[in-house]
Amino acid sequence: MINIKIDNKDLKVAPGTTILDAAKSVGINIPTLCYLHLHDFDITNKPAGCRICVVEVKGRRNLAPACATDCYEGMEVSTHNIRVLNSRKTVLELILSDHPTDCLICPKSGSCELQTLAQDMGIRQIEYQGEQSHYKEDTSPAIIRDVDKCIMCRRCEMMCNEVQTVGVLSAVNRGFMSVVAPAFEMNLDHSVCTYCGQCVAVCPTGALTEVDHTNQVIRALADPSKTVIVQTAPAVRVALGEEFGMEPGTRVTGKMVTALRNLGFDYVFDTDFAADLTIMEEGTELLDRLTRHLNGDKTVKLPMLTSCCPGWVNFFEHQFPEMSDIPSTARSPQQMFGAIAKTYFADKLGIKRENLVVVSIMPCLAKKYECQRDEFATNGNPDVDFAVSTRELAHLIKQANIDFNILPDQDFDKPMGESTGAAVIFGTTGGVIEAAARTAYEIFTGKTLEKVDFKQLRGMEWIREATVDFDGTPIKIGIAHGLGNARKLLQDIKDGKSEFHAIEIMACPGGCIGGGGQPLHHGDTSILMARQKAIYSEDSGKVIRKSHENPYIQTLYAEFLGKPMSEKAHHLLHTHYFDRSKPVEIDE
Amino acid sequence: MANIKISEQKVLQIEAICKEFNNEKGELINVLHKTQSLVGYLPAEVQEIISKNLNCSLAHIYGVVTFYSFFTMIPKGEFPISICMGTACYVRGAEKVLDEFKRILNVPVGQTTPDGKFSLSCLRCVGACGLAPVVMVGEKVYGRVSPDGVKDIIKEYKQA
């Protein structure tokens, strides 16, 4: 341990501790802007570029960035003397002098870290007036880049390159002209962007935001000729409460249903229903491949990869198109829901699909892109009309003057609102494969699964592996979250080194609970841990916890689909993938 | 893809350059240097080849190419024109000479005319301050250039 002094407080810290962390341990919060530390994932961004965290170190000529300066024996630090405060204020004013001041109408207003900093530091005027940099706005199907609001913190670049290894964003040009952009400054929709939205999740300002579909939803709700139904993804119910001041990890399923009903949705359904359906299809596909493999069929493709994550689908279509026969052909729960809603349910209501509007509430930005894909539409009418994020739902609720906190709990509508515990765990890393294991075990062995909790599949480690005993047959399972980790498992498969039978992949750190459309965590990963815990307690509170036991799923097969992997199921619930390793297109 | 197509032989040569640096990401700047001296510039297609071979994101390569002023994505003209902006040339009116080149060729500094004949750039001191202001076209040096003389210089090469 080494002895240091911060603001006249003596303390002992371990060698290698930064001034920032040392100060935090004694209750001194040095302000930061570019710095980001995702503790539970061991991800750090500290380019020391913004200089907001500068402090004075006795004996050092210039001020030191606290985030990137290690403590040494005898160090004396001052975090708020006049010199530090003046410098910090100058730095902030210089950043603000090249930043639009349209806070009132900025989509990030209220959750912008730059705005908060300016507030905290009491900035009332900007002394520096000069030229401002201007750059084209880039709107893709899911993400908007408003680069004028970029402060070059490089957090998005770190997520895109180091965590996700997608490699779309990089700092380009230099000096006043420098921006974060894709190669050749093409628009995102021409790049290999997966729309995972992790750049949006960490952007401190309004430079990266989601495409907002709330107005379209409001218009649909107001149209008397339309029947508007809604589905909610599993991860939304454990995060939405945060937007209304609740503790992270608060489960608000019942309040969310009531709020959606109050908003005017004709039927409030659950994506979890479709998650159960996904297990029926994907689980059957896995068993089919497994059985053929165990019987010595050399043509069968193993491991089978899950396919519910649209960011992940985009990733392999762009970067590993030659392996697109390995993932399951099962559509994602969002799209299964849409396909069943616009056929089976529309028929039940006796209305045309054009008059049924399907809205989904998703923790995800890639879902916005997914529902716009051509293959998920019939005669130009999409199976899912609009995908809105958890954050957008919070805005909708606030606009409708609903006091979320005092809402009573209500239940989802039938039939597409009924789900099992297996479905709700789709919202966290490890959940899809656990849900699949619960059903596959019973079908494969013909026995009842007594212990439904597969604890060995749970956790937050980037890559996890476990062997599940199917009554004497060991099934090897791999799990990866974060696309960089998915890449590692994919490379192993490519090199013929993979021994897994099945692999679950989710693009976002933590799975959907950490999705790009969730309430912003501002770098506090304990929030993700709390959401994960909430997902598992939602599961254990359910009476039915295996997808194939969902009575409404059983009815759906009996009345409409026949059996899993039937021709009708193939047509409505499965998909095919495209080679999108397209050559570079340069925008004019 | 950009509409520039480079020859199969050049592709092999670029791949050989990458290999010479063991396809190491960390050698990107060296690879770009050698490649630019081979091709003359670094168009999108060339950056793509390097991206594949060094297993390095295209955005990162583009970032490096646009950061360093030495690298260029624009091919030099058949007759590269450089105007000296060194102190001696500058005080003797180099800027007016440059403006005249820009006006007649209708291209900004760092660009090439659409017909590919002329490219315009600035440089710092060619060691001929006694002849200021100095203009170079390729290897040939023109001294005591006045704005009026610019059109004659261009004319010389227009016919070539």
Q: Tell me which chain B residues have a C-beta less than 8 angstroms from the C-beta of A586.
A: 1-2, 44
Contact A253, A239 (CB under 8 A): no
Q: Which of A160, A186, A210 is the endpoint of a domain? A: A210
When mean pLDDT is compared across A67-71, A422-426, B78-82, the lowest value belongs to B78-82
Task: Flag whether A125 is in a domain.
Answer: no
Residue B17 inside a domain? The answer is yes
Pairing of strands A143-145, A138-139: antiparallel
Note whether residue A579 is domain-resident.
no
CB-based contact A183 B61, cutoff 8 Å = yes
pLDDT more than 70, % of chain A: 99
Interface contacts (A, B; CB < 8 Å):
52
> Do residues B103 and B35 share a domain?
no
Q: Looking at the predicted structure, is the pLDDT value of residue B1 above 60?
A: no
Q: Of B39, B67, B95, which closes a domain?
A: B67
In a domain, A360, yes or no: yes
Q: How far is CA A217 from CA A171, A224, A358, A386, in A?
A: 36, 13, 10, 7
Counted domains in chain B: 2
pLDDT score of A405 = 97
- CATH label of the domain that carries residue A51: 3.10.20.740
Test A584 with B2 for CB contact under 8 angstroms: yes
What is the three-class DSSP state of A285? helix
Q: What is the pLDDT of residue A586?
A: 57
Minimum-distance CB partner of B58 among A174, A178, A183: A183
B91 and B62 both lie in a single domain: no
Interchain contact A173–B (C-beta under 8 A): yes
Joined together, the tokens standing for residue A206 give: 């309004």
Give me the pLDDT at residue B2, please: 44
| Residue A205 shares a structural domain with residue A237 | no
Q: What is the mean pLDDT of residues A108-113?
A: 96
The Cα of B145 is separated from the nearest Cα of chain A by a number of Å equal to 33
Residue B72 and residue B41 in contact, taking contact as beta carbons nearer than 8 Å: yes
Domain assignment present for A181: yes
Could you report the per-residue pLDDT of B101-158, keeping only the tens digit for each? 999 999 999 889 998 899 998 888 888 899 999 999 988 999 999 999 999 999 999 8
User: Does A575 have pLDDT greater than 90?
Assistant: yes
Q: Over the Cα atoms of chain B, what is R_g?
A: 18
Same domain, B152 and B99: yes
The reply to whether A272 and A401 lie within a common domain is: yes
Asked if residue A159 and residue A307 are part of one domain, the reply reads no
Q: Where are the alpha helices (DSSP H) in A172-222?
A: 198-202, 214-222
Q: With contact defined as beta carbons under 8 Å apart, do A169 and B60 qualify?
A: no
Contact at CB, A183 and B66, closer than 8 angstroms: no
**Closest Cα to residue A92, out of A153, A51, A134?**
A51
Which residues fall within 8 angstroms of residue A385, CB to CB, at 6 or more apart?
A: A216, A220, A357, A358, A359, A371
| Nearest alpha-carbon partner for A461 in A41, A43, A162, A159 | A41
Quick one: B112 and B136 in the same domain?
yes
Whether B63 is covered by a domain: the verdict is yes
* pLDDT band, residue A588 (cuts 50/70/90): very low
> What end-to-end distance do the CA atoms of chain B give, in Å?
32
Nearest C-alpha neighbor of B31 from the set B57, B13, B9, B4 = B13
Same domain? A232 vs A378: yes
A275 pLDDT band, cuts 50/70/90, is very high
Looking at the fold, whether A197 and A238 belong to one and the same domain comes out as no
Residue A355 has which token pair? 């008059």
Shortest CB distance from B66 goes to which of A161, A167, A173?
A173
The answer to whether residue A585 scores a pLDDT higher than 70 is no
Q: Do B58 and A172 touch (CB under 8 A)?
A: no
Q: How many domains does chain A fold into?
A: 3
The reply to whether A26 touches chain B by the CB within 8 Å rule is no
* CA A72 – CA A74 distance, rounded (Å): 6
Which of A174, A178, A584, A585 to probe the B interface (max B CBs under 10 A)? Answer: A584
Relative to beta strand A76-78, strand A2-6 is parallel
B117 touches chain A (CB under 8 A): no
Does B1 sit within 8 Å of A584, measured CB to CB?
Answer: yes
**Percent of chain B predicted with pLDDT > 90:** 76
Kindly state whether residue A78 falls inside one of the protein's structural domains: yes
User: Are residues B53 and B12 located together in one domain of the fold?
Assistant: yes
Cross-chain residue pair A172–B67, CB shorter than 8 Å? yes
d(CA A412, CA A333): 17
**Contact predicate B31/B54, CB 8 Å:** yes
Identify which of B44, B59, B67 has the shortest CB distance to residue A169: B59
Per the structure, the complete domain to which residue A6 belongs is given by 2-97
Q: Are residues B154 and B83 in the same domain?
A: yes
Residues 6+ apart with CB under 8 A from A471: A441, A444, A445, A447
Would residue B13 count as lying in a domain? yes
Average pLDDT for residues A420-439, to the nearest whole number? 97
What average pLDDT score do residues A514-533 get? 96
The CA distances from residue A326 to A248, A376, A383, in Å, are 36, 21, 25
CA A194 to chain centre: 12
Please indicate, yes or no, whether residues A329 and A198 belong to a single structural domain of this protein.
no
Q: CB-based contact (8 Å) between B74 and chain A?
A: no
Q: Per the domain annotation, does A461 fall within a domain?
A: yes
Question: Do A283 and A394 fall into the same domain?
Answer: yes
Is the CB of residue A171 less than 8 Å away from at least one CB of chain B? yes
Question: CA–CA separation, A302 vs A305, rounded Å?
Answer: 8
Instruction: Please indicate, yes or no, if residue B72 is contained in any of the structural domains.
Output: no
Predicted complex ipTM? 0.89
Q: What is the largest CA-CA distance in chain B?
A: 53
Together in a domain, B58 and B92:
no
- Domain assignment present for residue B74? The answer is no
Instruction: Find the domain containing B52 and state its range.
Output: 8-67
- Integer Cα distance of A572 and A102 in angstroms: 46
Confirm whether A109 is domain-assigned: no
* Domain termination residue (choose one: A210, A238, A253): A210
At A8-49, the pLDDT tens digits run 999 999 999 999 999 999 999 999 999 999 988 989 999 999
Last residue of a domain, one of B46, B67, B88: B67
pLDDT in tens, A205-252: 999 999 999 999 999 999 999 999 999 999 999 999 999 999 999 999
What pairs with residue A13 in β-bridges?
A: A2
pLDDT band, residue B3 (cuts 50/70/90): very low
Residues A47 and A141 in one domain: no
pLDDT tens for residues A456-502? 999 999 999 999 999 999 999 999 999 999 999 999 999 999 999 99
A158 lies in the same domain as A222: no
Give the Cα separation of A258 and B120 in Å (integer): 67
Domain of B100, CATH number, reads 3.40.30.10
Do residues A15 and A158 both lie within one domain?
Answer: no
Q: Give me the CATH number covering residue A156.
A: 3.30.70.20
Which pLDDT score is estimated for B125?
Answer: 84
Contact A551, A418 (CB under 8 A): yes
Rounded CA separation A482/A525 (Å): 14
Same domain for B26 and B94, yes or no, is no
Residues B84 and B137 in one domain: yes
Give the model's pLDDT for residue B155.
Answer: 92
Which residue in chain A has the smallest CA separation from B42?
A: A184
Residues B58 and B106 in one domain: no
Task: Check whether residue A157 and residue A31 sit in a common domain.
Answer: no
The set of catalytic residues of A is: 282, 285, 308, 328, 367, 370, 375, 512
Q: Do B58 and B91 belong to one domain?
A: no
- Which of B67, B88, B108 is where one domain is finished? B67
Q: B85 with B148, same domain?
A: yes
A465 plus A539 within the same structural domain: yes
H helix or E strand, kind and range, residue A475:
strand A473-481
Instruction: Point out the domain boundary residue: A97, A120, A149.
Output: A97
Whether residue A369 is contained in a domain is answered as: yes
Closest in B58, B63, B67 to A584, CB measured: B58
pLDDT digits (tens, 9 = 90+) for A60-106: 999 999 999 999 999 999 999 999 999 999 999 999 999 999 999 99
Segment A381-420, tens digit of pLDDT: 999 999 999 999 999 999 999 999 999 999 999 999 999 9
